[in-house]
Chain A
Amino acid sequence: MSDGLALNWRRIPERYAMKGNHCTNCKQDYFPSRMICPNCRRKGHLVSKDMPRIGKIVSYTKVMVGPSGFENEGNYYLALIDLGSGAKVLSQIVDSDEQDIHIGASVKKMFRKIGEVEEKGAITYGYKFKVVKPLTEDQVEALKEKNKK
């Protein structure tokens, strides 16, 4: 973990709200945001855009040995997530049953503590994702009942 306070502070819009950007010329989303569109370069026009808060797992791994700053995390899941808008994100998967984490699983964005900026004691926050399971038939029925009332 890098301990520069400003380094983490300037990433707050990206890490808290998943603010990226979008090229109005080629319609591609970028996360994190870029200074120029790599497809269109000077012909591109980038505008700020909040990334979708849901996506699908493209690949995942269970990390058994973490790097410095993550020694106390135990085992954790990391996944590449397709946000369905041309952008992908790498994130931890939390609050999910192990058997539900698979390629193609739907996930949604959560707000979580990521780590601590060691010497200065500041805590970094950001996005992690959790698996959202489709509702079972019983749950759908129950919801329908509830809506009738």
Chain B
Amino acid sequence: MSKLRRVAMIGAGLTKFGEHWNLSFRELGTEAAIKAVENSNIDGKEIEAMYIGCMASGRFVGQEHIGALVADQLGLNPIPSTRVEAACASGGLALRTGYLSIASGEHDIVAVGGIEKMTEVTTAEAGFALGGAGDQETELFHGATFPALYALLAKVHMKQFGTTEEQMAAVSVKNHKNAVHNPIAQFRKEISIEQVMKSGYVATPLKLLDCSPISDGAAAVILAEIGLAKKLCENPVEIIGSTHATDSLALTGRKSLTELNATKVASAQLFHQTGLTPKDIDMAEVHDCFSIAEILAIEDIGFFKKGQGGPATEQGKTALDGEIAINPSGGLKGCGHPVGATGVKQAAEMFQQLRGEAGGRQVKEAEIGLTHNVGGSGATCVMHAFRLMENR
């Protein structure tokens, strides 16, 4: 990292996540970007480049070429504007791309966005579009859905470590509880273990309330080189680490089914990069597209031993006031999962948390936070670490 310039977030903006019948794809992206610019107290003309995470606008709304489109909507043409795609990790990868563009010295101020508009199509069509995050020819062709792929991982975890359906349900219950205090969350209401257990199976052992929803939404953050960030902003949040790892798209190519190797590699590199250990982290936004995915994440990152993610969640260790707050925003389950926006939303949540602006879901005395954004069933993992800057 030594040759790279330091980078910080100076503003964040989010639309509400949920079903936006009255807003189009371009309007969602524009709303989040305007909020981020206003939040960062810049005019907008300082923005030198844009990076936008989006998984499948072509399948969801028939629109490609969204880099130039969003730049136009914001009155920012002719700046370079790039779409970044890595399935559900598109947002996280857009953030990393924006980070590297400043760290490398190419730009001083950039905007990073994430947008997905998923409710214009039927649930079956959305399922097919999302299926493209897996292996089209050997998984989707045979009738695999995303819940089915994670169900296959869950089944092995249950067999090997005794993880129970109730422990997985506890992930959803905790994330809904956090989402109650998040004004942009799709589901601002608590659910019980019984409700999760009684919700119908989608792909055994995963039930409807183990699954993140189909959502519309957008998120944006403004990044600046650290010296500039200090001038523009009273309390910027520094990105102190950024990593990215990949694995086979298909589950059949994985060496192990009880862990996501991309998470293991990205987190090991992140801890190496920052000199931190899992114990130094106060809170994390992890990729809980399904309840089992959060259990895998908190084990693979190293917050809990392999096999202990389920019991730890059941015992409240990952609650807002637990050993480590996991998904204070409500996660993908409670807050909603507009796939391309999720990775940027995670960073926006860290921005608000570290500045003490998270209201009822504020993690107390949080100094260091981490984000974990996964694409597909684990073929991409993008991670970032954040710390509030001691300004002045």
What residues of chain A have their CB less than 8 Å away from a CB belonging to chain B? 1-2, 11, 31-32, 58-71, 73, 76, 78-80, 87-92, 103, 114-115, 124, 126
User: A residues within 8 A CB of B128?
Assistant: 67-69
B143 at the A interface (CB under 8 A): yes
How far in angstroms is the closest Cβ of chain A from B60? 14
- Complex alpha-carbon distance, A60 and B145, angstroms: 13
Q: List 20 A-B contacts (CB under 8 A).
A: A31-B252, A61-B152, A62-B203, A63-B144, A64-B203, A64-B204, A65-B202, A66-B124, A67-B131, A67-B143, A67-B144, A68-B127, A71-B124, A78-B143, A78-B144, A78-B203, A89-B138, A90-B251, A103-B155, A103-B159
Given A2-B136, A80-B257, residue A66 in contact with residue B152 (CB < 8 A) = no
User: A residues within 8 A CB of B127?
Assistant: 65, 67-68
B8 at the A interface (CB under 8 A): no
Whether the Cβ atoms of A92 and B124 lie closer than 8 Å is: no
Whether the Cβ atoms of B257 and A58 lie closer than 8 Å is: yes
User: B residues within 8 A CB of A78?
Assistant: 142-144, 148, 152, 203
Q: Which residue of A lies closest to B200 (CB)?
A: A64
Given A103-B155, A103-B159, residue A65 in contact with residue B144 (CB < 8 A) = no
Whether the Cβ atoms of A88 and B252 lie closer than 8 Å is: yes
Interface size on B, residues (CB 8 A): 35
Given A80-B152, A80-B251, residue A68 in contact with residue B125 (CB < 8 A) = yes
One of A2, A61, A71 near B204 (C-beta < 8 A): A61
What is the interface of chain A mostly: helix, strand, loop, or mixed?
Answer: strand
B382 at the A interface (CB under 8 A): no
- Complex alpha-carbon distance, A102 and B251, angstroms: 18
Enumerate B85-141 residues with CB–CB distance to A below 8 Å.
124-125, 127-128, 131, 136-141
Whether the Cβ atoms of B202 and A92 lie closer than 8 Å is: no
How far in angstroms is the closest Cβ of chain A from B48? 39
User: A residues within 8 A CB of B159?
Assistant: 59, 103
Q: Which residue of A lies closest to B204 (CB)?
A: A62
B32 at the A interface (CB under 8 A): no
- Complex alpha-carbon distance, A91 and B243, angstroms: 34
Q: Which of B128, B153, B155, B200 has the most CB of A within 10 A?
A: B155
Whether the Cβ atoms of B131 and A32 lie closer than 8 Å is: no
How far in angstroms is the closest Cβ of chain A from B76? 36
How far in angstroms is the closest Cβ of chain A from B103? 30
Given A67-B127, A78-B148, residue A90 in contact with residue B140 (CB < 8 A) = no
B161 at the A interface (CB under 8 A): no
B147 at the A interface (CB under 8 A): yes
Given A66-B145, A87-B252, residue A11 in contact with residue B137 (CB < 8 A) = yes
User: B residues within 8 A CB of A90?
Assistant: 138-139, 142, 144, 250-252
Whether the Cβ atoms of A60 and B152 lie closer than 8 Å is: yes
Whether the Cβ atoms of B145 and A65 lie closer than 8 Å is: yes
Whether the Cβ atoms of A32 and B137 lie closer than 8 Å is: yes
How far in angstroms is the closest Cβ of chain A from B117? 18
Given A11-B137, A32-B137, A32-B138, residue A63 in contact with residue B148 (CB < 8 A) = yes
- Complex alpha-carbon distance, A59 and B141, angstroms: 18
How far in angstroms is the closest Cβ of chain B from A107? 14
Whether the Cβ atoms of B204 and A67 lie closer than 8 Å is: no
User: B residues within 8 A CB of A69?
Assistant: 128, 143
B276 at the A interface (CB under 8 A): no
Whether the Cβ atoms of B141 and A114 lie closer than 8 Å is: yes
Given A67-B128, A80-B252, residue A92 in contact with residue B142 (CB < 8 A) = yes
Q: Which residue of B lies closest to A127 (CB)?
A: B142
Given A59-B257, A60-B155, residue A73 in contact with residue B143 (CB < 8 A) = yes
One of A62, A65, A87, A91 near B142 (C-beta < 8 A): A91
Q: Which of A61, A70, A115 has the most CB of B within 10 A?
A: A61
- Complex alpha-carbon distance, A2 and B200, angstroms: 29
Whether the Cβ atoms of B124 and A67 lie closer than 8 Å is: yes
How far in angstroms is the closest Cβ of chain B from A51? 11
How far in angstroms is the closest Cβ of chain B from A90? 6
